[in-house]
């Protein structure tokens, strides 16, 4: 771009010339089925974490693998968590220290789910790189690494010190991470100035974004247990309370047809809408039609840009995700399942409280269940509770990122929130008290968690440039801040 310096142009040229190598590494990473949800794939997640640590070490970083212990599965078994990477590159006290957070685990994906390509074989079609984890989050993690690699390959001094915190359990709620952050607050995080996360998407396909808020996620497992084994529906159908019927009634009691959550008290702590906030929504560039096309559905619950964005960002939603134990194969199996587990979650918003939400939901489910006079047993558990996050957009870190975006994309960023969750964001902010920013590089149509997940070649490569430009902007900004604080002290 015309606003970039000679140094930036050299780096950008290097990145352009080496793009096929960067894509090859992404291909190798996508080939690892590092699905953190399915227990039988846990070894692959650990392998992916180790691969990432090796890559960081090849950059010259020190990378420590921190053990996170184990967690309990719904069947009562314990499973080891993959280790967490804490890595460091550079310790110059004159330079600012930027900590990058990312994850290398992925959501489950099978070809039979309806993928047109093998989800674990990165495939380029019309400039898009399809594969599980391409955008969520292996592509952005690699883009950051590629940016560092470019400085090193050109034998350029890194303008900032770097730290990396890379995990393998984000998609399962970042299990074990909070304890490490608390423990490391006085050590690993003590000299960190800024924390950057790149694990969400732009709001449209062309305009880059800076994200200052996300929703939280409170996940529930609702187990209904009848007898000890599945039964023939001809021999027992009509004379017992069926667990699945109870579960469907419970799940059906959660939201109405307009998407409103029916659990009493759920909306009590949602921030009220101010006139000032309303204006923010009016100014945002967002095309509901384009968003609808990205989703593949015929109609949204809301029509206007403002209503849609508010219901994604500042109002809670409840989604039903699945039922364990139910017969789901093709054909009919005339069975009455003995034990079924329904899974749903609430995307919480500021200033809803996680423990209050838990209590409200459990109380409501118990009330609905007791009215059914069922002889079955109900058990509700909360496997994941992730808080919503909001940051101060006026923080200097956002200024630096805005400048880097302008340099690489030639336009100012859209300042957005996101309806999804990055469990660690609010924890980082609450525990470390550092500036936290989300700087996405994926476009709105990247299809995170879907059967068409991709990152475009363009966004992957421009994203790599963006991170390189960010290092330079943070260093400049830090110099300015330092100078300003020195002048103040002298005066
Ligand atoms: C936005 C991010 N890439 C993501 O997909 N986060 C997950 C995190 C999560 C929440 N509950 C369980 N995992 C998400 O928002 O679903
Ligand atoms: Zn993610
Ligand atoms: Zn995800």
Q: Which two tokens stand for residue 56?
A: 């960081």
For residue 237, the enclosing domain spans 217-271+314-386
Q: State pTM to two decimals.
A: 0.94
Q: What is the pLDDT of residue 491?
A: 56
Ligand 3 centre distance from Cα of residue 123 (Å):
20
* Beta partners for residue 78, in sequence order: 72
Answer whether residue 298 is part of any domain.
no
The helix-helix angle for 42-58 and 138-153 (nearest 10°) equals: 20
Do 23 and 131 fall into the same domain? Answer: yes
Q: The tokens of 81 are what?
A: 């968590």
Domain finish residue from 351, 386, 421: 386
Answer yes or no: do 104 and 253 share one domain.
no
In the set 8, 44, 105, 246, the catalytic residue is: 105
Domain co-membership, 400 together with 348: no
> With a 6 A CB cut-off, is 173 part of the ligand 1 pocket?
yes
217, 221, 346, best to mutate for ligand 1 pocket (most atoms within 8 Å of CB): 217
Q: Of 386, 416, 445, which marks where a domain is finished?
A: 386
467, 341: one domain: no
At residue 478, the pLDDT reads 87
The finding on whether 171 has its CB within 6 A of some atom of ligand 1 is yes
Residue 308 forms part of a structural domain: no
CA dist 444 and 430 (Å) reads 29
Asked if residue 386 has its Cβ within 6 Å of ligand 1, the reply is yes
290 is a domain residue = no
Whether residues 115 and 228 share a domain: the answer is no
Q: Is residue 55 part of a domain?
A: yes
Catalytic residue among 170, 184, 246, 448: 170
CA of 364 to the centre of ligand 3 (A): 29
Would residue 283 count as lying in a domain?
Answer: no
Which residues are known binding-site members for Mn(2+)? 103, 136, 171, 199, 449
Name the closest ligand to CA 423: 1
The answer as to whether 282 is a domain residue is no
Look at residue 480 in the predicted model and tell me its pLDDT: 83
pLDDT at residue 486 in the model: 78
Same domain, yes or no, for 181 and 267? no
pLDDT block averages, 10 residues each, the chain of length 491: 78 98 98 97 98 98 98 91 98 97 98 97 98 98 98 97 98 96 98 98 96 98 98 98 98 98 98 94 94 94 97 98 96 98 98 97 98 98 96 95 98 97 95 97 97 98 98 93 73 56
Is residue 106 domain-shared with residue 160, that is, in the same domain? Answer: yes
Please name the residue that has the structure tokens 């095309």: 287
Question: Do 67 and 146 reside in the same domain of the chain?
Answer: yes
Residue 200 CA, closest ligand 1 atom number: 1
Ligand nearest to the CA of 421: 1
CATH number at residue 208: 3.40.630.10
Q: Which of 422, 424, 442 to mutate to test the pocket of ligand 1 (most atoms within 8 A of CB)?
A: 422
Task: Report the domain count for the chain.
Answer: 2
Closest ligand to residue 217's CA: 1
Q: Is 226 in the same domain as 207?
A: no
Is residue 170 flagged as an active site residue?
Answer: yes
Q: Binding site residues, as ranges?
A: 103, 136, 171, 199, 449
Question: How far is ligand 3, taken at its centre, from the CA of residue 173, in Å?
Answer: 10
Instruction: Please indicate, yes or no, if residue 241 is contained in any of the structural domains.
Output: yes
421 in contact with ligand 1, CB cutoff 6 A? yes
For residue 246, indicate whether it is catalytic. Answer: no
Q: Is 318 a domain residue?
A: yes
User: Any idea what the CATH number is for the domain that residue 347 is in?
Assistant: 3.30.70.360
Calpha distance 417→280 (Å, rounded) = 11
448 lines ligand 1 (CB under 6 A): yes
3-state SS, one letter per residue, for the chain = CCCCCHHHHHHHHHHHHCHHHHHHHHHHHHCCCCECCCHHHHHHHHHHHHHHHHHHHHCCCEEEEECCCEEECCCCCEEECCCEEEEEECCCCCCCEEEEEEECCECCCCHHHCCCCCCCCCEEECCEEECCCCCCCHHHHHHHHHHHHHHHHCCCCCCCEEEEEEECCHHHCCCCHHHHHHHHCCCCCCCCCEEEECCCECCCCCCCEEEEEECCEEEEEEEEECCCCCEEHHHHCCCCCCHHHHHHHHHHCCECCCCCECCCCCCCCCCCCCHHHHHHHHCCCCCHHHHHHHHCCCCCCCCCHHHHHHHHHCCCEEEEEEEECCCCCCCCCCEECCEEEEEEEEECCCCCCHHHHHHHHHHHHHHHHHCCCCCCEEEEEEEEEECCEECCCCCHHHHHHHHHHHHHHCCCCEEEEECCCCCHHHHHHHHHCCEEEECCCECCCCCCCCCCCEEEHHHHHHHHHHHHHHHHHHHHHHHHHHHHHHHHHHC
Atom nearest to 418 CA in ligand 1: 1
CA dihedral defined by 343, 225, 243, 329, rounded to 10 degrees? 60
Report the separation in Å between the CA atom of 53 and the middle of ligand 2, taken as the mean of its atom positions.
Answer: 18
- Say if residue 203 is in the same domain as residue 222: no
Token output for 348: 């919480």
Whether the CB of 140 sits within 6 Å of ligand 1: no
> CB neighbours of 113 closer than 8 A, spacing ≥ 6?
119, 451
**41, 137: one domain:** yes
174 and 182 Cβ atoms separated by less than 8 Å: no
Q: Indicate the residue among 365, 386, 407 that finishes a domain.
A: 386
Q: Is residue 134 domain-shared with residue 23, that is, in the same domain?
A: yes
Please tell me the number of the ligand nearest to residue 138's CA.
Answer: 2
């Amino acid at each position: 771009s015309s606003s970039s310096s000679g140094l930036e142009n050299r780096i950008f040229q290097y990145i352009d010339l080496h793009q096929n190598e960067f894509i090859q590494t992404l291909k190798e990473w996508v080939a690892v089925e590092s699905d953190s949800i399915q227990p039988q794939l846990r070894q692959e997640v650990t392998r992916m974490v180790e691969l990432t640590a090796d890559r960081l070490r090849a950059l010259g970083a020190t990378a420590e693998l921190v053990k996170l212990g184990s967690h309990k599965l719904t069947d009562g078994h314990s499973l080891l968590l993959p280790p967490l990477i804490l890595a460091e590159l550079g310790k110059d006290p004159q330079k600012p220290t930027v900590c990058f957070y990312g994850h290398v685990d992925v959501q489950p994906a099978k070809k039979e789910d309806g993928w047109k390509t093998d989800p674990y074989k990165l495939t380029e079609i019309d400039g898009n790189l399809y594969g599980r984890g391409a955008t969520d989050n292996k592509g952005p993690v690699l883009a950051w690494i590629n940016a560092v690699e470019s400085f090193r390959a050109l034998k350029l001094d890194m303008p900032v010190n770097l730290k990396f915190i890379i995990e393998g359990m984000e998609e399962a709620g970042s299990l074990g991470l909070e304890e490490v952050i608390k423990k490391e607050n006085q050590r690993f995080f003590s000299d960190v100035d800024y924390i950057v996360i790149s694990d969400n998407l732009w709001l449209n396909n062309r305009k880059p974004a800076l994200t200052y808020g996300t929703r939280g996620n409170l996940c529930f497992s609702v187990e209904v247990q009848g007898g000890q084994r599945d039964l023939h529906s001809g021999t027992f159908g009509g004379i017992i309370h069926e667990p699945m019927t109870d579960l469907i009634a419970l799940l059906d009691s959660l939201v109405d047809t307009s998407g409103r959550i029916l659990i009493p008290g759920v909306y009590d702590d949602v921030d009220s809408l101010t006139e000032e906030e309303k204006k923010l929504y009016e100014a945002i560039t967002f095309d509901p039609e384009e968003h609808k096309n990205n989703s593949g559905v015929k109609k949204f619950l809301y029509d206007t840009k403002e209503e849609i964005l508010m219901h994604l960002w500042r109002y809670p939603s409840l989604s039903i995700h699945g039922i364990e134990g139910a017969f789901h194969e093709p054909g009919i199996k005339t069975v009455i399942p003995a034990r079924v587990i329904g899974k749903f979650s609430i995307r919480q918003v500021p200033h809803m409280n996680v423990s209050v939400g838990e209590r409200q939901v459990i109380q409501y489910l118990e009330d609905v269940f007791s009215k059914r006079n069922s002889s079955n047993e109900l058990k509700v558990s909360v496997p994941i509770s992730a808080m919503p996050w909001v940051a101060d957009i006026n923080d200097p870190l956002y200024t630096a990122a805005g400048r880097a975006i302008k340099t690489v994309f030639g336009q100012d960023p859209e300042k957005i929130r996101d309806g999804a969750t990055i469990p660690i964001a609010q924890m980082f902010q609450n525990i470390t008290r550092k500036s936290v920013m989300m700087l996405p590089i994926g476009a709105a149509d990247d299809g995170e968690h879907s059967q068409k997940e991709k990152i475009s070649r363009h966004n992957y490569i421009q994203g790599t440039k963006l991170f390189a430009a960010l290092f330079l902007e943070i260093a400049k900004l830090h110099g300015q801040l330092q100078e300003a604080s020195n002048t103040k002290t002298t005066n």
